[in-house]
Amino acid sequence: MKGKSIAILGIGGVGGFVAAKILANRSDKSVKLDLISRGATYDNIKSKGLVFSNPDSEEFLQSDGLFLTGECKNTYDVVILATKSQSLKHAILENQAIFGKETLVLPLQNMTNAAAFIRPLVGKAMVMDACIYLISNVQEPGHIKHLGGPGKVIVGSPKTDTYDWVFNYLNKCGIPLNLVPDVNLHLWRKFLFISSLGTLTAAKNVTFGEIRSNEVLKGVWIGLMEELIQLAQKQEVMLDDSDVQNALAMISNFPENAKSSFQLDIEAGKFGEKKTLVDEVIINSKKYGLSCANYQVLESKISERLGNN
């Protein structure tokens, strides 16, 4: 494993969490970790390090290398893609040098088709389907706060043991990683939670705690998830009511005042992941003759909020 290298592209809520876990828990520097970021995030990490906090503690962490996006010329053994979906293509095209023919690419976007989207953009690099269960917010550029979720990474089982070293390494660094044969089902389960909850919180401007305690809001959330299940089943992904119940149970693990990342973007007047989390759900549902009435109503409310900012 000595001499291996990992790059994390995008140091927001997800990329910052993964980076912090590695930096705080690795036993040595035998695996090099570089961060690639932009703008104020790059400037703040360069001046004071990556700041990672949770309700109980705060850490200042230094990576082995820090690069401004587009300026890194190194090729890595592993690239963890942690940009938001709307920035994904641009980030990949801007950083082509980091991908080699033997690079493993792990995309952690809130998408069900990230790997298929990425493969044509990275040459012969190996891109595997993956997702992460996590809620963390950017407090300010370069400062990540972990609010909930285990940070568990799910990866589709490869047909080779070539990458076992990085899977074992991430586990040892406190990032639980599971290899699964049915990764598409897991991608949809993650999307079920993130898309429906993000849409509701962004449209209604409510916290996770308010959804838990309000039966009307909870009913709307369930309605959104039911519409996503219909869409998934049309694509032969067999989500069912048990996945709804698991999502309802999952939200109890988060603080009362927790907000979704998409909600914070809308509050700031940014479109964020609206295309992926909301618009494409409506477009794809209509292709299958599904009404997705809840998504359409809440999309209008989100658009209205953006128009008023």
CATH number, position 272: 1.10.1040.10
In whole angstroms, how far apart are CA 259 and each of 218, 251, 264? 15, 11, 7
Reduce the DSSP state of residue 185 to 3 states and report it.
helix
Q: What pLDDT band is residue 1 in, cutting at 50, 70 and 90?
A: low
In this structure, what CATH number is given to the domain that contains residue 70? 3.40.50.720
- Cα 231 to Cα 112, 203, 237, 281, distances in angstroms: 12, 21, 9, 8
Last residue of a domain, one of 181, 206, 230: 181
Looking at the structure, do residues 102 and 27 belong to the same domain, yes or no?
yes
pLDDT of residue 158: 92
Q: How distant, in Å, are the alpha carbons of 79, 81, 121, 153 from that of 40?
A: 22, 19, 27, 27
Structural contact between residues 115 and 129, judged by C-beta atoms closer than 8 angstroms: yes
Does residue 100 have a pLDDT over 90?
yes
- How many C-beta neighbours within 10 Å does residue 256 have? 10
> Are residues 212 and 161 part of one domain?
no
Give tens-digit pLDDT for 276-307.
Answer: 999 999 999 999 999 999 999 999 999 999 98
- Residue 87 and residue 32 in one domain: yes
Do 162 and 230 belong to one domain? no
Task: Point out the domain boundary residue: 155, 181, 207.
Answer: 181
108 and 230 assigned to the same domain: no
| pLDDT at site 255 | 87
Q: Is the dihedral of CA 21, 24, 27, 32 positive or negative?
A: positive
* Among candidate residues 127, 148, 181, the one where a domain is terminated: 181
Do both 117 and 18 map to the same domain?
yes
Number of domains in the chain: 2
Mean pLDDT (the chain) is 95
Judged on CB neighbours under 10 Å (0-12, 13-18, 19+), 49 is: middle
Q: How many Cα atoms occupy the beta-carbon half-sphere of 179 within 13 Å?
A: 13
Residues 236 and 300 in one domain: yes
Give how far the C-alpha of residue 139 lies from the chain's centroid of Cα atoms, to the nearest Å.
Answer: 16
Handedness of CA 237, 86, 140, 169 (dihedral sign): positive
Residue 147 and residue 272 share a domain: no
Give 165-205 pLDDT, tens digit per residue.
999 999 999 999 999 999 999 999 999 999 999 999 999 99
Contact 85, 275 (CB under 8 A): yes
**What is the value of pTM for the model shown?**
0.94
155 DSSP β-pair partners = 130, 179
What is the Cα–Cα distance from 134 to 152, expressed in whole angstroms? 7
For the chain, what's the residue count? 309
**In this structure, what token pair is assigned to residue 248?**
């309802």
pLDDT digits (tens, 9 = 90+) for 220-255: 999 999 999 999 999 999 999 999 999 999 998 888
Verify that 11 and 143 share a domain, yes or no: yes
pLDDT band at 55 (very low <50, low <70, confident <90, very high): confident
Identify whether residues 12 and 91 lie together within a single domain: yes
Closest CA to 85 of 46, 111, 119: 111
In this model, does residue 218 exceed pLDDT 90? yes
pLDDT band at 2 (very low <50, low <70, confident <90, very high): low
Look at residue 73 in the predicted model and tell me its pLDDT.
96
- Are residues 144 and 276 located together in one domain of the fold? no
Regarding whether 244 and 291 lie in a shared domain, the answer is yes
CA–CA separation, 284 and 281 (whole Å): 5
pLDDT digits (tens, 9 = 90+) for 3-43: 899 999 999 999 999 999 999 999 999 999 999 999 999 99
**What is the per-residue pLDDT for 254?**
87
pLDDT band at 308 (very low <50, low <70, confident <90, very high): confident
Checking if the pLDDT of 208 tops 80, the result is: yes
φ, ψ of residue 49 to 5 degrees: the values are: 90, 175
Containing domain of residue 18, as a range? 4-181
Distance (Å, rounded) from C-alpha 302 to C-alpha 274? 9
